Structure 1
């Protein structure tokens, strides 16, 4: 049994890795735990890339949910995906048994919720890395503080950077925070045919998605429609309304609310929506998984923020702009809100100038 290690055990300087003994042992197999939304999985891909660079001969598996499996399809840094089926107690016990049979030498839990902590604890791995949080800390023998403080203040970082920090503590250098997402030629061919059938030009296409995973971080269909009308009238760009599973009626509602020419995207899988976003000059949305796919394929983004913090959920890159109203309760991190003041105070006219700037930079080759 490996002895437990925590930050308090380390006497060296703050930049030294917390657990360099793991890199020296060269684990032959490792499991990354990151079930959750597709954006959360995408934000873990830089850490997966760093693991592959640090352990090129190791077998790397990732435990994800269904959308996460689609995000990692084609990712060269992952040898195996295990899909977490939460439909029954029996299915979850089956996952625990499968993980244990995998004989992983290192487990890294990027989520550290009760379910993933249990999977970590039952994995049988000699090294189990997770955050040093109450109760769940017992699942890990390598404990990393969840939060970083400087001069008594909590440091807020881009989520991809936070994930890379988890790997760095093992003595593995990071490989940047670029998000990895593979778009297939099959998907590109389908989307190019769709664009041709609607006489849409790649350089003159703005994608908009009005959907959001939380009610509190959703700007609203009518405001997105108003913005789309302004874009169509003032930039000469065509607007394509992008939608995913369960969002078709919302997309149709936006089509009905618009006055200018608009196109509703065809039904797509995750690969195909990546190809569509790749063809857009700019993509506009709430803070959502589609926004992270746009970032991954290199499309400039304008993202409406309210309860969530853009420092955490947008890359520190001028091609990706955060738009939000000036209200006292901003970045409250609430899932639901009665007043929705942060969304109500933001107008289409506040967002349009940023979209124009991004389009201008794209034309000049700066974005």
Structure 2
């Protein structure tokens, strides 16, 4: 074969392996609070690497507060998964409208049928990311989500590096931008609900799975002990957590209630992000509010039982993760008969780590974090 022909083939191969600089990029993530926030370092990196590109994010409409002010995107596209876009025909109509946008790159960071189809049907020149087995052949390149092996954000960066040859990263951790109204509302809500002068520890006792929840009795005992030490308590969570918060409060000592404030079911996601920084520390299960606290720079203590530590630990070196020592950890199961992984994490251990974040000197905290990366939490096994 002539030398010129070989050069032509090599040139075509290189163009295929290294996509051209895109004019428009769509990132898809239709998952929950924490999962959506774990995409924000990817958005920042794309903005840094492709400053002239139009970058859009497709997310669940009910979570738009978390990303609507994100300064690294030009456009937020939302899908009402449980409302007007639910059902076959509304969903196909949404997919058709998305296809008309003619994005050059589509990056799918949600490995399920709905997101994979939207990516595959987008008509983009380059379609990469996670995909279901049926739709993989429609992607330019795909890979499995490696959240079982490494942090979810690291797996997302693998998509950029391995499938799009984006090797430089701009990672400043999880990010939420508040608007002025949210800050004013948060200050007013805090002043109305917190009727004492104590420094406040937040408690987020809910979680999407029952197996992620620490015992109500443990949370109640921890709250009583912190109040005895002069701290106030603020309960967080969504409307679905109101019942378990009421059950937990009923287990607390009657004379501690004046130091307790309840924000459960009273805050939008934007207001939650604005209110959390009023807390000195958040004690939380593995949950959406945990990741919101990380994005807002709130130190936290979290307990992991069923949850896999490598994939979803709080992405912050001001956080402490107490990992269950049970041999069945992490099972990833939504239901469990014995639930021993979370029940055996003691009140004493959680109290100790909470008080250290509250009361240790800056030098002691710096020593705790020595050797950790900027987004690597301290893990207690």
Structure 1 position 212, deviation (Å): 0.5
Structure 1 position 45, deviation (Å): 0.4
Partner residue, 1:249 = 243
| Deviation digits for residues 188-222 of structure 1 (CA, Å, limit 9, x no counterpart) | 222222333434458x1110011010111111322
| Deviation digits for residues 146-203 of structure 1 (CA, Å, limit 9, x no counterpart) | 449xxxxxx832222222222233232111250011122322222222333434458x
Partner residue, 1:72 = 67
Deviates more, 1:334-343 or 1:35-44: 334-343
Question: For the Cα contact (< 8 Å) 2:183–2:274, is it kept in 1?
Answer: yes
TM-score (norm 1): 0.86
Aligned mates of 1:145, 1:347 — CA distance in 2: 36
Question: For the Cα contact (< 8 Å) 2:55–2:74, is it kept in 1?
Answer: yes
Partner residue, 1:191 = 186
Distance of aligned partners of 1:117 and 1:195 in 2 relative to their CA distance in 1, 3 Å threshold: closer
Aligned mates of 1:362, 1:254 — CA distance in 2: 32
1:167 matched to 2:160? The reply is yes
Partner residue, 1:209 = 204
1:21 matched to 2:18? The reply is yes
Partner residue, 2:373 = none
Unaligned runs of 5+ in 1: 1-16, 149-154
The one of 234, 238, 262 equivalent to 1:240 is 234
Structure 1 position 361, deviation (Å): 4.0
Unaligned runs of 5+ in 2: 1-13, 367-381
Question: For the Cα contact (< 8 Å) 1:231–1:237, is it kept in 2?
Answer: yes
Aligned mates of 1:346, 1:18 — CA distance in 2: 54
Matches within 5 A, 1:1-367: 21-22=18-19, 25-86=20-81, 87-131=86-130, 134-147=133-146, 156-169=149-162, 170-172=164-166, 173-176=168-171, 178-197=173-192, 198-201=194-197, 204-234=199-229, 236-259=230-253, 260=256, 261-265=259-263, 267-315=266-314, 317-361=316-360, 366=365
Question: For the Cα contact (< 8 Å) 1:131–1:144, is it kept in 2?
Answer: yes
- The CA RMSD measured in Å over matched residues stands at 2.4
Distance of aligned partners of 1:95 and 1:283 in 2 relative to their CA distance in 1, 3 Å threshold: same
Structure 1 position 350, deviation (Å): 2.0
Structure 1 position 294, deviation (Å): 0.2
Structure 1 position 330, deviation (Å): 0.9
Three-state SS of the structure 2 residue aligned to 1:322 is strand
Question: For the Cα contact (< 8 Å) 2:214–2:285, is it kept in 1?
Answer: yes
Question: For the Cα contact (< 8 Å) 2:116–2:130, is it kept in 1?
Answer: no
Aligned mates of 1:120, 1:201 — CA distance in 2: 51
Aligned mates of 2:320, 2:65 — CA distance in 1: 26
| Deviation digits for residues 34-53 of structure 1 (CA, Å, limit 9, x no counterpart) | 00101100000000111111
Aligned mates of 2:330, 2:184 — CA distance in 1: 40
Question: For the Cα contact (< 8 Å) 1:19–1:142, is it kept in 2?
Answer: no
Distance of aligned partners of 1:220 and 1:46 in 2 relative to their CA distance in 1, 3 Å threshold: same
Three-state SS of the structure 2 residue aligned to 1:246 is helix
Question: For the Cα contact (< 8 Å) 1:302–1:354, is it kept in 2?
Answer: yes
Structure 1 position 68, deviation (Å): 3.0
Deviates more, 1:184-193 or 1:172-181: 184-193
Tell me which structure has the larger Cα radius of gyration.
2
Distance of aligned partners of 1:184 and 1:362 in 2 relative to their CA distance in 1, 3 Å threshold: farther
Aligned mates of 2:159, 2:235 — CA distance in 1: 37
Distance of aligned partners of 1:268 and 1:132 in 2 relative to their CA distance in 1, 3 Å threshold: closer
Aligned mates of 1:362, 1:140 — CA distance in 2: 52
Three-state SS of the structure 2 residue aligned to 1:56 is coil
| Deviation digits for residues 59-94 of structure 1 (CA, Å, limit 9, x no counterpart) | 111111123322111001122222223321122112
